[in-house]
Chains A and B, each alone.
Chain A
């Protein structure tokens, strides 16, 4: 460029028409100068072309330079953001849905963001089922358009409504609430909807908003396509939501006749990875938490790190009869585990090997392949559904629940693998929310006690891949037993009293309880015959003062914690302490069959540790005699103990019948001996519970 520089143009600042570039060059580079006068005179035409070229090039540079200088200007625009009011904001959700091809809209009434989060998750779910959803804040849209949803094919409105304060709507749902209340003549017959309510049971107006929306929309003619979901923040809101959601989507698919998947592959949560060359040191073989935590045991022991306790005693308690009641003792020496009578011991059982093998046969797979199931959602905290890498055998034995009846969502997801149309149809039907579907599920699955193996056997065309099945089955849960020993007497041993669960189902199969059968088969001091366990503290406790009278009611295996209580009171007496009335009400079927712990109890009675031993033998005479009948027989004595002597009442055992019958007996005693009305009696007992003088450790 310097070569075409004309010396004289360095001085003529004004003339830019033909010598423009010279002027610029002067501004930019005044010192450089070349002598090209000779060239100028000879090549006039070339020069003008070059001039033009340079001229435009320089203009280009100027423009570029100006553009770069402008860069800082966009920043002032930032201030405008403080008053955002995009005048072209879409307030019609119908238009928005049409434009973006959505058929499902999820409205949320949210104060602290939970309902909004649920709404977002639901709208994302839709695509798993071949549909498109969007979450929406009712405050931003004209809710009056709800009736227009019929304009969209297969449309559905889901409402995630949180209740606030005294049954009030959340701030962002106030307008919607008012609209619902005011418009009686609104016709919502084209609207398909469902509601999930979020609330907290400790508040009086639990889920009032959700319930109201569910009811009101129906009143206005809308069609409810799935039951109202109730989420309780006092319990576990997330679990409530997930359970509801799992049943909800299959029902939606059924309702719209939509397949869960566009093509035949379902949308999975996890991805299978088969390991071919993995060191077995890296493979889980049943540990709950840390790898090798079963080989190298380190305290403290808890639900993530159980202690492998050897079994020192495993004997049958009943003398006869077809049931098997058992007493086990677990050795906790060296574990640093402490417990108190009344606490619970949690054990991690494993499934029956025969059952696991049979599953492998029916599914036609090699169970000893090492695999991992990895979460496709990389942001999820849950990387795997159970500890991975592991084998199918380990997963089915240690980690997955294969004995409980599968839930409807499992049936729905497996349906696609049934090649027989009738079988597939039935699977889908049982997962739907139609009355016939629900009835079929109730009778064919629940009432017939069919577990997953039974379902696979009775639906021979159903051939799911084992990895998908492993994704769908729930985790195998720990089981809890009331400890039947006192730590004062047995500091290094934990005793368990349990009855083996075994029954014949309507299909002629024999179902066995997982934990009780596993415990029954534990060899005493056998090699590797250990029980992974930990202690869960309970609030079932003897009174602080040994002189306080106690009334213990525990028929059958409900006697467990009382064996510990009686041991403890015996120990206190041995220590020279004064011990108050210790009364036991026990019940069983036959005196010479299942009067468990008879020797121990009679010994305690002899030593006046147990001041009263009352036993009801239900089947030893023509009419049934239960503990509640014995309670009524001793009503005066009991009333004195409770009302005057400050006795504590403890009830342990069956929740559904026994606990209720016992409570009723106490109501009657309060009425008959205490002279109360039924209402007063009920309140009296309720108050005893609140003040911790009537405790229950019951199970169903």
Chain B
């Protein structure tokens, strides 16, 4: 679910001038810029998957959201494990920000909220998620520099569009305003997401990497996006077999009446307003439904019948 917004401004194209001629260390060689440019296309694709589009429109079913949280839990547990393993590796150390970034504990709390205290035994790792997790472990053990690509793809996304997703989810799923179920989106160690992203980019650019490694990193980031999209697609598939639960109570106005429209005060008012006879009938039916009313009517009928009989005698 990485929906990072593009923030790089485009370099203006001046005519031939002193600046253009000089070798500039800034534009193509900074890792942060190469990653942004190299993932632009796949990022758009991810934004346009059905799952994400629906999510942004507030069309997300709770069961699906929960399964999404499970996928995230497995992903981040793997990634943060590998990050911890490589925290002193010269090609990762500048990006080691566990206090600010770590998500697996927040996700564990979200899952406990959704599934209860025995959540661990109730959730499993889906196929697409497992493939993603396997790749992360492989990278962490065999080629740690590529971990940067995975961290970049997820964390930068979480700090950008991820914030929008939080608000959508909170409203669509009617989650409590106190934040339960959405701790994943809450970065308590980060005061300004914008400032942190800037810091993170500067740290990425401090990594001493040759051009080839940078290119490999961009490729790995694209791969990471694909792993994410496969998870979305898998969720979409799982969604088709899940029972349709009522998202936005179709007629919330009538919910409290237990489906009996005549109990709806609005409807009754309508009836009252729209005409006398209908109202009288309505009133009569209402009376007849009530047990006491039934006894009274019965007694009245009985008395009437008695009178008639007496008269006829």
Binding site for B on A (CB under 8 A): 48-49, 52-53, 55-61, 63-64, 67-68, 74, 77-78, 80-81, 84, 86, 88-90, 99, 111-114, 200, 202, 233-234, 381, 536-541, 543-545, 548, 643-644, 646, 648, 674-677, 679-680, 683-684, 686-687, 689-693, 695
Residues of A close to B310: CB separation below 8 A: 49, 52
- Using A234-B163, A539-B192 as known contacts, say yes or no to A689 and B198 having CB atoms under 8 A apart: yes
Question: What string of 1s and 0s marks CB contacts (under 8 Å) between B273-304 and chain A?
Answer: 11000000000000011000011011101111
Q: A112-B168, A543-B206, A692-B203 are in contact. List 14 more A-B contacts (CB 8 A).
A: A49-B310, A59-B305, A60-B305, A64-B295, A84-B251, A113-B171, A675-B17, A675-B19, A675-B22, A676-B17, A677-B12, A680-B12, A692-B198, A695-B195
The answer to whether A56 and B251 touch across the interface, beta carbons within 8 angstroms, is: no
CB contact between B305 and one of A55, A74, A84 (< 8 Å): that residue: A55
User: Does B66 make an interface contact (CB < 8 A)?
Assistant: no
- Mark each residue of chain B from 24 to 48: 1 if its CB lies under 8 Å from any CB of chain A, else 0: 1110001011000000000000000
CB–CB A541/B199 < 8 A: yes
Nearest Cβ on chain A to B26's Cβ, whole angstroms? 6
Q: Say whether, besides A537-B100, A690-B7, A692-B199, A111 and B58 are in contact (CB < 8 Å).
A: yes
In contact, B274 and A544 (Cβ under 8 angstroms):
no
- Contacting residues, chain A, for B30 (C-beta < 8 A): 691
Residues of A within 8 A of B22 (CB): 674-675
**How far does the alpha carbon of A536 sit from the alpha carbon of B93 in the complex, in Å?**
23
A643 to B23, CA, bound (A): 10
Residue pair B191, A687 in contact (C-beta under 8 Å): no
Stretch at the interface among B78-86, B111-119, B145-153, B253-261: B253-261
Complexed CA–CA distance, A397 and B33 (Å):
51
B241 at the interface (CB under 8 A from A): no
Q: Which of chain B's residues have a CB closer than 8 A to the CB of A200?
A: 164
* B202 and A60 within 8 A (CB): no
User: How far apart sit A689 and B271, CA to CA, in the bound complex (Å)?
Assistant: 65
Q: Known: A683-B9, A691-B202. Contact between A643 and B25, CB under 8 A? A: yes
Closest 4 A-B residue pairs measured CB to CB? Answer: A675-B18, A692-B202, A60-B302, A56-B306
- The binding surface of chain B is classed by DSSP as helix
Interface of B toward A, CB cutoff 8 Å: 5, 7-9, 11-12, 14, 17-19, 22, 24-26, 30, 32-33, 57-58, 93-94, 99-100, 163-164, 167-168, 171-172, 177-178, 189-192, 195-196, 198-203, 205-206, 248, 251, 254, 259-261, 267, 270-271, 273-274, 288-289, 294-295, 297-299, 301-307, 309-310, 313
Contact check: which of B19, B189, B289, B309 meets A52 at CB < 8 Å?
B309
A67 touches B171 (CB 8 A): no
User: How far does the Cβ of B37 sit from chain A's closest Cβ, in whole Å?
Assistant: 13
Report A-chain residues with C-beta under 8 Å of the C-beta of B302: 56-61, 63
Contact assessment for A539 and B195 in the assembled complex, using a CB-CB cutoff below 8 Å: yes
- Indicate if the CB atoms of A112 and B172 lie closer than 8 Å: yes
Kindly provide the distance from the CB of A110 to the nearest chain B CB, expressed in whole angstroms.
10
Chain B residue with minimal CB distance to A111? Answer: B58
Report yes or no: A544 in contact with B163, Cβ–Cβ below 8 A: no
The chain B residue with its CB closest to the CB of A671 is: B19
A536 to chain B: which residues have CB within 8 Å?
191
Cβ contact of B164, chosen from A202, A674, A675, A689, cutoff 8 A: A202
User: Once the chains bind, are A63 and B298 in contact (CB under 8 Å)?
Assistant: yes
Known: A63-B298, A537-B190, A648-B202. A687 touches B8 (CB 8 A): yes
Chain A residue nearest to B99 (CB atoms) is A537
Q: Which residues of A contact B18 (CB under 8 A)?
A: 674-676
B102: shortest Cβ distance to chain A, in Å?
13
For residue B94, give the distance in angstroms from its CB to the closest CB of chain A. Answer: 4
Q: Residues of B contacting A644 with CB < 8 Å?
A: 25
> Which of A48, A68, A233, A543 is B294 in contact with, Cβ under 8 Å?
A68
A378–B267 Cα distance when bound, in Å, is: 28
B273 touches which of A99, A381, A689 (Cβ 8 Å): A99
Q: Which chain A residue shows the least CB distance to B304?
A: A56
B295 touches A680 (CB 8 A): no
- Which chain A residue shows the least CB distance to B258? A78
Query: Which residues of chain B come closer than 8 Å to A679, judged between CB atoms?
Result: 12, 14
Q: Given the complex of chains A and B, what is the CA–CA distance between A303 and B222 in angstroms?
A: 40
- Is B198's CB under 8 angstroms from A687's CB? no
Q: Are A539 and B301 in contact (CB under 8 A)?
A: no
How far is A253 from B268 in the complex, measured between Cα atoms in Å? Answer: 34
Q: Nearest CB to that of A17 among chain B residues?
A: B309
Chain B residues, Cβ within 8 Å of A537: 99-100, 189-191
Task: Kindly list chain B residues whose C-beta atoms are within 8 Å of the C-beta of A545.
Answer: 94, 206
Distance to closest chain B CB from A344 (angstroms)? 8
In angstroms, how far is the closest chain A Cβ from the Cβ of B289?
A: 7
User: How far is it, in angstroms, between the C-alpha of A78 and the C-alpha of B261 when the chains are bound?
Assistant: 8
Q: CA separation between A545 and B202, bound complex, in Å? A: 11
One of B94, B201, B298 near A690 (C-beta < 8 A): B201
